Amino acid sequence: MSHLIAPSLLSADFANLGKDVEMLNNSQADWLHLDIMDGLFVPNISFGFPIIKSVKKMTQKPLDVHLMIVDPDRYLEEFVKAGADIITVHYEAVNHLHRSIHAIKDLGCKAGVVLNPHTSVSLLENIIADLDVVLLMSVNPGYGGQKFIENTFDKIKALKELILKKNSKALIEIDGGVGTHNIKQLVEAGADVLVAGNAVFGSENPTKTIELLKSF
Ligand code: DX5
Ligand code: ZN
């Protein structure tokens, strides 16, 4: 399988969101990445259900909903109703990860775990076989446009080993500071899904940039 590109709407123009979603629909984007922030788990607040519902009405592409919120269990059903196809929860934000992951799956969604830059891949040893996705944060979550943390490469290596050891089908997703300067290296290291916010929406021609990110 060639790698997937998931543009992050966090860097889109919210006054012209329809236009940006239309652009993504006509691009080679594989998933649309939606960053949900509550101002508690991360310092920033982003957007919620009305935006997800509006985006869902406009696109056939899978919605990859990244929950940067405290105790996400409270809202899983509502995120699925709003249109999520993939839901990822932070290891650092839940008390009973196994329960959360299976709650997402029971709602008919693909389920994943997100690890902050400081959280070790080895903590996933007893859940990896149940996961559809592992999202490695390559910046501290909260903002777009931050600098990629190089230690992520070591984590991809460790995660690949764990996935093989446990015969897991989990995809490796990387989020933060991804762009044309490092995507080739990331794909070679084993990344399956690459999130890109600033690299896409901060570029002169986002459609072309997505095409370029796909081509590596
Ligand atoms: C950060 C978010 C990212 C963000 C990535 O907390 O999880 O998805 O939008 O943005 P870039 O690609 O600009 O680093
Ligand atoms: Zn994200």
State residue 38 phi and psi, 5-degree precision.
-110, 0
- Strands 133-137, 193-196: pairing is unpaired
- Give the active site residues: 35, 175
Mean pLDDT of the region 165-194: 98
Cα–chain-centroid distance for residue 117? 14
State the alpha helices, DSSP H only, in 9-148.
17-25, 49-58, 76-82, 97-106
Query: Looking at residue 1, what is its pLDDT?
Result: 77
Q: Is the pLDDT of residue 11 over 80?
A: yes
Query: Looking at residue 63, what is its pLDDT?
Result: 99
Number of domains in the chain: 1
> What CATH number does the domain containing 123 carry?
3.20.20.70
Residue nearest to atom 7 of ligand 1 (CA): 141
Query: Looking at residue 61, what is its pLDDT?
Result: 98
Distance between CA atoms of residues 56 and 72, nearest Å: 20
Mean pLDDT of the region 17-45: 98
For a pLDDT cut of 90, what percent of the chain falls above it? Answer: 100
Domain with 118, as residue range(s), is: 4-215
CB of 175 shorter than 6 A to ligand 1: yes
Query: Looking at residue 214, what is its pLDDT?
Result: 98
Please, are residues 133 and 86 in contact by the beta-carbon 8 Å criterion?
yes
Residue pLDDT, tens place only, 122-159: 999 999 999 999 999 999 999 999 999 999 999 999 99
Mean pLDDT of the region 23-44: 98
Q: Is the pLDDT of residue 110 over 80?
A: yes
Distance between CA atoms of residues 85 and 92, nearest Å: 22
Query: Looking at residue 39, what is its pLDDT?
Result: 98
Please, are residues 49 and 78 in contact by the beta-carbon 8 Å criterion?
yes
Assigned token pair, 129: 């076989």
Residue pLDDT, tens place only, 37-84: 999 999 999 999 999 999 999 999 999 999 999 999 999 999 999 999
Q: Is the pLDDT of residue 189 over 80?
A: yes
Q: Is the pLDDT of residue 171 over 80?
A: yes
CB of 33 shorter than 6 A to ligand 1: yes
Site to probe by mutation for ligand 1, drawn from 146, 173, 180, 201 as the one with most ligand atoms within 8 Å of Cβ, is: 146
